[in-house]
Amino acid sequence: MKKSKILLGLGAITLLSSCGPKLITDTAKISDLKTAIATKKDEVKNYWMSLTGKTVEVDKVTKEKITKNDEMLLRSNEDGEKHLHMTSDGGAVSTDYYLVNDETYEKLIYCDSDSDYDGKITVIDRKTHKKEFDEFLVSRFEPNTSFADAFLDPYKLTSFVGMLHNDGQRFDADTKHYSGKDGQLTIKINETSVVEGDDTTNQIEANYEDYVFKGMTIKHSYSTEQIEWSTEITVDFKKMNKVTIALPSNWESHLYTGE
């Protein structure tokens, strides 16, 4: 979730960089800032993006506290190749997906995941197993890698916020925008549930610098009669000049045969 070097409406943005980021309430200026950044997003061809998460669950009765730390690393290049590494359940489960181009097999997906193919490393080639390749790409690979687009485009940030909501939840939302110069924007979103008995809160701060997404923090918390639960995610993004992605050694021994 094209290519253009035209920055729309920049002439209307008159911000003083020496004063640091300031609260902006003028909707025209906010729109100009967002449009300028969104216009540049497709020029980001090579990048590294990391997510680190910390979840804390406290049992209200026993006072037992469980802390889990997980991570995600996504690398992508201008040739459409990607590598995704992620952990879950406090690092107990690890997944590695690769998508690379290949002269012999057209494209390859490398899958090393406990939840796929009975936990066996499997490499699917598009030339001879197009159906299996496309199915895995759409159902498993893309859902875990396409979210980057929602970060790069400030107009799509609200769609990401919606992923923190459950059915039936309603929130009082406060969104503020800050900027200190052209191409720099900070968006802060604070949500508090307005449903009786629901104390869910969401806090998001996204930062853009030189027209490119720089990173964000996400805080999400709620409680029930039994537990208090909170998570904090830190996202770091780096635009790269070049990203090289290669499959792990001995990958050919894991080629999918359909058996």
pLDDT tens-digit series, residues 24-60: 999 999 999 999 999 999 999 999 999 999 999 999 9
What's the pLDDT tens digit per position in 91-147?
888 999 999 999 999 999 999 998 899 999 999 999 999 999 999 999 999 998 888
Structure tokens of 59? 């049992």
Residue 76: CA atoms inside 13 Å, Cβ hemisphere, count? 21
Mean pLDDT value of segment 244-249:
96
For tokens 């029930």, the residue is 224
What pLDDT is attached to residue 17? 40
Question: How far is it, in rounded angstroms, from Cα 5 to Cα 60?
Answer: 55
Residue type, 139: S
Distance CA 38, CA 43 (A): 10
Q: Which residue has the higher pLDDT, 148 or 28?
A: 28
Residue 225 has, within 13 A of its CA and on its CB side, a CA count of: 0
Q: How far apart are CA 231 and CA 222, in angstroms?
A: 9
* pLDDT at site 19: 56
Q: Which range, 4-13, 81-90, 101-110, has the best average confidence (pLDDT)?
A: 101-110
Q: Is 112 exposed, middle or buried (0-12, 13-18, 19+ CB in 10 A)?
A: buried
What pLDDT sits at residue 11?
40
Parallel, antiparallel or unpaired: strands 65-76 and 82-88: antiparallel
Query: How big is the chain by its Cα radius of gyration, in Å?
Result: 21
Residue 14 has a pLDDT of 39
pLDDT at 92: 84
